[in-house]
Structure 1
Amino acid sequence: MIERLRGRFVAALPPALRHRLRRLWLSLVPIAQCALAAGLAWWIAVNVFGHPQPFFAPIAAVVSLGLSLGKRWRRSVELVAGVTIGILVGDVLISQIGSGSWQIAAVVALAMSVAVFLDDGPLIPMQAASSAALVATLLPPGGIAGVHRAIDALIGGVVGILVVVVIPVNPAHRARRDAAGILATMRDAARELADGLTEMDIDKVSGALENARNTQGEINTMRADMSGGREVSTMSPLYWTSRHRLQRISATADPIDNAVRNFRVIARRTRGMTQRGEHLRPEIIEIISDISRGFETLRTMMLAKPGEEPDQADAARVLRTIARKATAELVGDSPLAETAVLAEVRSLLVDMLMTCGLSRSSAVATLR
């Protein structure tokens, strides 16, 4: 009952506000992780190591975690390496040449050069430059303070990793939710495209294309979260048993991405046909409408927990029913544009079947 009321309340909100609230909801756990890691890193640096102002510790903890689940381990290592390089270069150089405009430029250039020479990642040079600039402008160079700053960066990075291990984000849940959101968008886009082609409404067809194009950011987020989920399931003992499930979920990334790309091609081709006043065969429009139902089945499959329906086999049965309609005989006497649309529809169905766990050869065989 409460869940239903909450769903109605959220659905009644303006789309822009609903999107912002969803973004905040998805980020609550990473925000909590960053806050906890920052406070804990400061406490350890002050109370365990006796550092008077260890501001590098909470900064390192927050940067190493971030809001994205992906590559946190690498971010921590890069952060510590970049800060250490910047501090060492800044301490050595500023203590010899003094502080000023040209000295700052020289320190930043040298720190970034050393970082780029050692690693091709983007974070190390930025952290090296910012740390060197801090030493050149605000922090006294030399002495034990430089060593403390490097230790503080190490404390922050280690605390960030420990927080992920002890209080991890559910890796499977976030990845499934990302994929389900993309599939929901494609479900609506396919329905809108079918309606637009039936009514010869160029605005609806263009709207479906635009909605499909706007999913690229969500796809990138999905890939990052799937990568981060695999990382969490490797580091945290709480989710070691989820590794196989994460692998299965991650295997859907490429088919979903390819399905969206193929749908964009279909929408772009049919938009051109609609602009020219060319009607698409009703049987093909019906298949596109059925594809909307297929996307919805895939969405519910992604959200279903182990043992719940629909599972991969259930979704594959629905898609096979749709695929059997997309026969080459439909365009035996059709113009080239219509034949090309059916070819893309068949390719889209292959990608959707692969999202259900079928191999490409098995998915293609379904369409013969």
Structure 2
Amino acid sequence: MAQRHDDGTPERDESRIGRLFARFRRARGYGGHERETVLIVLKCALAACVAWVIADTVVKADSPAFAPFSAVLMVQVTVYQSVVQSLRYVLAVTLGVVVQAVLGFLLGTHLWTFTLVALVALTISRWRRLGPQGPQVATAAFFAYSSFATVTTTYDQVTRLTEIVVLVLVGCGLGVAVNLLVLPPMRYRSAEYGITTLARAMDDLLGDMAPGLREGVPGEDRTGDWWRRARRIEGLVPQALAAVEGAQESVRFNPRRLLQRHRGASFHGYRDVVEALGRITEQLTSLTRGLYYATGTAAEDQPYPDFLAEYGDFLEGIGGATQELTELTGQRLAEQVDRLREHLDTAGEGYDRLAATVRRTSLDPAEISHAYGILLVDAARLLEELRFVQERLARSIGLAADPPTAQGEGR
């Protein structure tokens, strides 16, 4: 509750003002949510003002507000959405005006006419092709009826209805033009952020598992916690895919893409990376589930401590690769791809030692299959998927991919 002075008036909330100034400093200092919000507000204001001037002074419309209203609606988050939604919006408004024109001239201005207009417009608004702009059919029809009913001559009625469509065209055109010409939004960082967020969660899990396995056979509580965390990481994959798709959409029809070719990986490459990371999270879930069940068995059936120690070393090498992905950025992607390859080479050596340990400590194939088989297969697949990530990133920036290794030949 806000503090009050002795006279009952509320004191200034200094912390709230401080947070407001902090947001402005962040908007000025670097790109992010705050700067994006400021840019959208300024672009909407610019589009609205220009649309009003054209509607009021050039078109000399009786209701010029339709133009700035339409312009603000069309300053969407991406240029592609501005174009697509403006086309749908113009179509929806035109349909609404046409419905009113046909029924108005046939039946006149009566209550039953308005009722029929509403029924027809609301039915058309359900058309899936109109998408989120469907309700604008009814809205335009209602405005058109109001304008139609306020004049008596046929000429004035036609003029009013035509004026609505013209104002919407002006507003949509200006909204798209402002979004296209005034700092059109790009979303490279959102795609990278989706990947780094997913990789960071994986890296944190691997960072706990590697030393835990080197300490000996972990308890069921610990392996159960790893398993739960791995399942939660799987929930981040759809979010990362959505971030990449939003970033890819921001490039369509965007002239700034011509200035961003140096950024590095294409969005198609980023999507492949996220999908591969999704498969990696599935392997981590399988791996942690295998550890949970293995450590819950009788002591004589549990993996040997030296096998678990080698497994911890292998996961530490895998963690180096995921750590590299947590810092993914287009400006340094070539350098990061090289470091990722080095981490995976280290992890590959760890896998070879792990397989050698299995061969050394196992007496027969049945024992290998029972105690180590699933964990060893999960390790191979984990390494294979990360090699695919490194290969896909290398290809996306025009680097030659390494020849497939023993673990990667099946891809």
Q: Normalising by the residue count of structure 1, what TM-score does the alignment of the two structures yield?
A: 0.74
Residue of structure 1 in register with 2:8 after alignment: none
Structure 2 spans left out of the alignment, 5+ residues:
1-17, 23-30, 150-156, 213-217, 296-302, 359-367
Residue of structure 2 in register with 1:16 after alignment: none
Identify which of 113, 136, 148 aligns with 1:140: 148
Distance in 1 of aligned mates of 2:117 and 2:311:
65
Contact 2:241/2:271 (<8 A) preserved: no
Residue of structure 1 in register with 2:52 after alignment: 42
1:185 and 2:197 aligned: yes
The 1:188–1:253 alpha-carbon spacing in structure 2 relative to 1, beyond 3 Å, is: closer
Q: Matched residues, percent identical? A: 17
Identify which of 252, 256, 272 aligns with 2:269: 252
Partner of 2:63: helix, strand, or coil?
coil
Identify which of 70, 73, 81 aligns with 1:71: 81
Contact 1:60/1:153 (<8 A) preserved: yes
1:228 and 2:250 aligned: yes
Residue of structure 1 in register with 2:320 after alignment: 293
The 1:340–1:364 alpha-carbon spacing in structure 2 relative to 1, beyond 3 Å, is: farther
Distance in 2 of aligned mates of 1:106 and 1:75:
24
Q: Normalising by the residue count of structure 2, what TM-score does the alignment of the two structures yield?
A: 0.68
The 1:296–1:127 alpha-carbon spacing in structure 2 relative to 1, beyond 3 Å, is: farther
Contact 1:89/1:111 (<8 A) preserved: no
Identify which of 316, 330, 338 aligns with 1:314: 338
The 1:180–1:218 alpha-carbon spacing in structure 2 relative to 1, beyond 3 Å, is: same
Contact 2:280/2:386 (<8 A) preserved: no
Count of aligned pairs: 335
Letter in 2 for 1:108: A
Residue of structure 2 in register with 1:344 after alignment: 381
Distance in 1 of aligned mates of 2:143 and 2:311:
63
Partner of 1:252: helix, strand, or coil?
helix
Distance in 2 of aligned mates of 1:299 and 1:217:
16
1:78 shift after superposition: 1.8
**C-alpha RMSD over aligned residues:** 3.7
Q: 1:24-73: per-residue Cα shift (whole Å, max 9, x none)?
A: 44444334323322332222222221113233322322332322454332
Letter in 2 for 1:259: A
1:239 shift after superposition: 4.9
Residue of structure 1 in register with 2:120 after alignment: 107
Contact 2:337/2:390 (<8 A) preserved: no
Q: 1:214-242: per-residue Cα shift (whole Å, max 9, x none)?
A: 35234313312222224213xxxx65343
| Alignment of structure 1 residues 243-282 onto 2, 5 Å | 244-245=261-262, 248-278=265-295, 281-282=308-309
Structure number with bigger Rg: 2
The 1:36–1:291 alpha-carbon spacing in structure 2 relative to 1, beyond 3 Å, is: farther
Q: 1:251-277: per-residue Cα shift (whole Å, max 9, x none)?
A: 322222213311331232134234425
Higher mean C-alpha displacement, 248-257 vs 193-202: 193-202
